[in-house]
Amino acid sequence: MQLTGSQILVECLKEQGVDTIFGYPGGSVLNIYDELYRHQDEIRHILTSHEQGASHAADGYARSTGKVGVCLATSGPGATNLVTGIATAYMDSVPMVAITGNVTVNLLGKDSFQEVDIAGITMPITKHNFIVKDVNKLADTLRRAFKIAQTGRPGPVLVDIAKDVTANKAEYMKEEIPPIERIKDTITEEDINTALAMIKEAKKPMIFVGGGAVISDADQELKEFVYKVDAPVTDTLMGKGAFSGEDPYYTGMLGMHGTKTANLSVTQCDLLITIGARFSDRVTGNAQKFAKNAKILQIDIDPVEINKNVIVSHCIIGDVKEVLKILNDKIEQHDNKEWVNQVMEMKKQFPLKYHPEVLTGPYILEKLYEITGGDAIITTEVGQHQMWSAQYFKYKKPRTFITSGGLGTMGYGLGACIGAKVGNPDKIVVNIAGDGCFRMNMNEIATAARYHIPIIQIVFNNHVLGMVRQWQSLFYGQRYSHTTLNDSVDFVKLAEAMGAKAYRITKKEEAEEIIKEAISLNVPVVLDCQIASDDKVWPMVAPGAAIEEVFTEEDLQAKK
């Protein structure tokens, strides 16, 4: 049947099972929005306060559900406002399709009003992108975009559509979309057997889990593998929840703000089994000294990640879930009790600590974990609050900790929180922010209020840019250059003005009751939590140092 480009677009979205789009209208996408109006009972559109909020919401929706997130913006500044969100999704391998409008075909390349080469701009931060100038190619392009976004290592794909394409007509025929097949043809028997031999030979194995284990939904296979290998587990920021933070074999996060136990165990192990992690510099510290006593076995879907940051002894290329299935079928039960007990003793010796006498970020997170029983989705912005969220809330399941790991995007969490709540309406969804991050995109509280999306926004308000100040304190002679937020912004009044409920917490005794009330209200709530300006994230590894040089506040004081 003959349909307009806008009708074809909506039909293709329905083919893909898209139920929600986050976006902001404008001239180049008016035809698309007119069609969405006709299909509002099938596809929900969330109008965000800013296009960046739309891209982060699509990202949060994708990470929390495993589906493709979709965002939509007009040409020019509308499209460029998506760029930070697209780059965020690219760095963390998030399946997302960003759809932008552009000027009509005859105006392309002429510096027309609100024209920008968004495909050129986003080329380095997308898995692929398309410019559609012919309505006859629109349906196939959209289908390819969704397939590319989900196949193998996921990532964002951009589809830029000229405005006249959305009005022109072409023949459309509905297609049944086959499920995405997992990559397993790269897994060889030889690679599996070599890995099994390495595991058998090891006396002190350590399992290191990254975001790839979350993306592949390999949590059950991972748990079985851990207990068959009989090895302690550490993870990255992106890997949280793939292996339960409540499990006794879990040692905490690895790296710059990882636990002493995890950092020292990786340094002391003789085999590091790395599952879906890319050896980010924030994890490895000094890469030349990383896991210096160990052979490294890396399991990853992307061959580009092998030997990129750290030289490994052996690798298996393929979908993590499929690789672990094969290994679990073949591996014998191992017994590394002596090594496991050694690591467990370290856990007792080096617990995470914070100042218990005053209101702090860690205290609020522990109280939130206690109240929710750990059954919540936590999104974060970027900074100290992000690290505390990784350290003090125990993630039992994958897709429950949603944060910008690779790009470190301040302003990410609130949009992502809205997207996660839309995708998981029955879950408690909480965004943890610092006051610096919250300022960046706090206008999205108005979005949550407009659509009655009952998220909880917790602001750790220390009146400084906390993580940058921490570095200035430790490495820059306490020269606090432009990191003190000494203004009179009142987050409670701002939140109420945007239609949310809001509370201020100034002491520990107030926290539990107010958090419980925020959850019970089932409306958007902002909690302004006043904490000290000089609270720091401990432990820490200095930039350029080996992870075994991890130090705590007590270590620093003893050194002084």
**Residue 553: how many other CB atoms lie within 10 Å:** 14
User: For the chain, which domains are there?
Assistant: 2-171 (3.40.50.970), 189-349 (3.40.50.1220), 361-537 (3.40.50.970)
Is 51 annotated in the active site?
yes
Q: Which of 14, 114, 394, 510 is catalytic?
A: 114
Q: What is the pLDDT along the chain (560 residues), one digit of tens a residue?
A: 999 999 999 999 999 999 999 999 999 999 999 999 999 999 999 999 999 999 999 999 999 999 999 999 999 999 999 999 999 999 999 999 999 999 999 999 999 999 999 999 999 999 999 999 999 999 999 999 999 999 999 999 999 999 999 999 999 999 999 999 999 999 999 999 999 999 999 999 999 999 999 999 999 999 999 999 999 999 999 999 999 999 999 999 999 999 999 999 999 999 999 999 999 999 999 999 999 999 999 999 999 999 999 999 999 999 999 999 999 999 999 999 999 999 999 999 999 999 999 999 999 999 999 999 999 999 999 999 999 999 999 999 999 999 999 999 999 999 999 999 999 999 999 999 999 999 999 999 999 999 999 999 999 999 999 999 999 999 999 999 999 998 889 999 999 999 999 999 999 999 999 999 999 999 999 999 999 999 999 999 999 999 999 999 999 988 87
Residue carrying structure tokens 């709540």: 421
Is 508 annotated in the active site?
no
How many angstroms separate the CA atoms of 70 and 224, rounded?
A: 34
Is 246 annotated in the active site?
no
Q: Which of 113, 174, 203, 370 is catalytic?
A: 113
Grouping H, G, I as helix, E, B as strand and the rest as coil, residue 369 is helix
Q: Which amino acid is at 177?
A: I
Distances from the Cα of 84 to the Cα of 20, 153, 506, angstroms: 21, 20, 34
**Residue 519: how many other CB atoms lie within 10 Å:** 17
Q: Read out DSSP for 123-179?
A: GGGSSEEEEE--GGGHHHHHHHHHHHHHSSS--EEEEEEEHHHHHSEEE----PPPP
pLDDT tens digit sequence for 510-557:
999 999 999 999 999 999 999 999 999 999 999 999 999 999 999 998
Distances from the Cα of 114 to the Cα of 138, 162, 435, angstroms: 22, 12, 33
Handedness of CA 465, 468, 472, 476 (dihedral sign): negative
- Strand ranges across the sheet with 128-132: 44-47, 20-24, 69-73, 96-102, 156-162, 128-132
Grouping H, G, I as helix, E, B as strand and the rest as coil, residue 377 is strand
Handedness of CA 31, 33, 35, 38 (dihedral sign): negative
Contact 550, 286 (CB under 8 A): no
pLDDT at 486: 86
- In the chain, how many H helices and how many E strands? 24, 20
Q: What residues are paired with 296 via a beta bridge?
A: 272
Q: Which of 163, 223, 240, 325 is catalytic?
A: 163
Residues 6 or more apart whose Cβ sits within 8 Å of residue 263:
254, 255, 539, 541, 547, 548, 550
Q: Which of 387, 467, 498, 540 is catalytic?
A: 467
Is 42 annotated in the active site?
no
Is 256 annotated in the active site?
no
pLDDT at 487: 86
How many angstroms separate the CA atoms of 464 and 505, rounded?
A: 17
Q: Which of 35, 51, 305, 322 is catalytic?
A: 51
Grouping H, G, I as helix, E, B as strand and the rest as coil, residue 541 is coil
